[in-house]
Amino acid sequence: MNKLVKPTPLDREIKLDPSKIIMSKANARGIIEFANDYFMEVSGYEEFELMGQPHNVVRHPDMPKVIFKIMWERLHEGKNIHALVKNLSKDGRFYWVLTDFETKYNENGEIVSHYARRKAAPGNAVFQIKKLYKTLVAIEERQNPETAEKYFLGLLEEKAITYDQYILELLEVNNSNLDNYFFTGKTNTNGNTPPKKGFIKRMFN
């Protein structure tokens, strides 16, 4: 008689509260300087474990390197980027988020930090992105990240769209509605009141 096999923690998804925002601040090199309460609740880490750590502490092995390469290229240019990301919690579970960023500069115009918001990713978008990510990871493992990047850029060229347009297509929203996605559900940095654009910078200025 077959025994019931229980899923390992790595197989289990954390269902995020769609009304709450996961927020963090990292320096220009991606080192964590702040994490809000919901970040710690979902990731399973405490403040002393996160502060001073690179943000890839929550990177899931199912995530293609090319996605983070594109993300950091954009952030180093001071540009916002939305991405669908699968993150890894301390106990091995996973959770899917949609990301959004704001960049802070010093008086010399140099980037000093990035503020990131993450919210529960729509299930339909996650379902569609999984196959692509699996393909990209396979190419990275069997070939190299450069080959995976060429494949991904070729895919975008075939569709005649940019990366941002691709994400909007998966989310089934337009650019103006996407920003509103982060402000639904009446959430703030601790998950209770509605924020406004630029709220992250005002918190730390």
CATH number, residue 67? 3.30.450.20
Task: Judge whether 164 lies within some domain.
Answer: no
Res 17: pLDDT: 94
Task: Judge whether 170 lies within some domain.
Answer: no
Res 40: pLDDT: 96
Res 171: pLDDT: 85
Task: Judge whether 169 lies within some domain.
Answer: no
Token look-up 């396979």 returns: 138
Q: Compare 29 and 202 and report the one with higher pLDDT.
A: 29
pTM: 0.82
Tell me how far CA of residue 205 lies from CA of 26, 78, 198, 201, in angstroms. Answer: 15, 18, 11, 6
For 14-33, what is each residue's pLDDT tens digit? Answer: 999 999 999 999 999 999 99
Query: Which range is least confidently modeled, 45-54, 70-79, 122-131, 191-200?
Result: 191-200
Res 182: pLDDT: 64
Task: Judge whether 87 lies within some domain.
Answer: yes
Q: Is the pLDDT of residue 178 over 60?
A: yes
Q: For residue 132, what pLDDT band results from cuts at 50, 70 and 90?
A: very high
Q: Compare 72 and 189 and report the one with higher pLDDT.
A: 72
For 42-80, what is each residue's pLDDT tens digit? Answer: 999 999 999 999 999 999 999 999 999 999 999 989 888
Task: Judge whether 2 lies within some domain.
Answer: no
Task: Judge whether 117 lies within some domain.
Answer: yes
Task: Give me the number of domains the chain comprises.
Answer: 1
Q: Average pLDDT of 155-183?
A: 81
Task: Judge whether 32 lies within some domain.
Answer: yes
What b/e sequence results for 162-199 when a residue is b if at least 16 CB atoms lie within 10 Å of its CB, and e otherwise?
ebbebbbebbebeeeebeebbbeeebbbebeeebeeeb
Task: Judge whether 24 lies within some domain.
Answer: yes
Res 78: pLDDT: 87
List the domain range (segments joined by +) for residue 13: 9-122+176-184
Q: Compare 177 and 202 and report the one with higher pLDDT.
A: 177
Q: Average pLDDT of 101-125?
A: 92
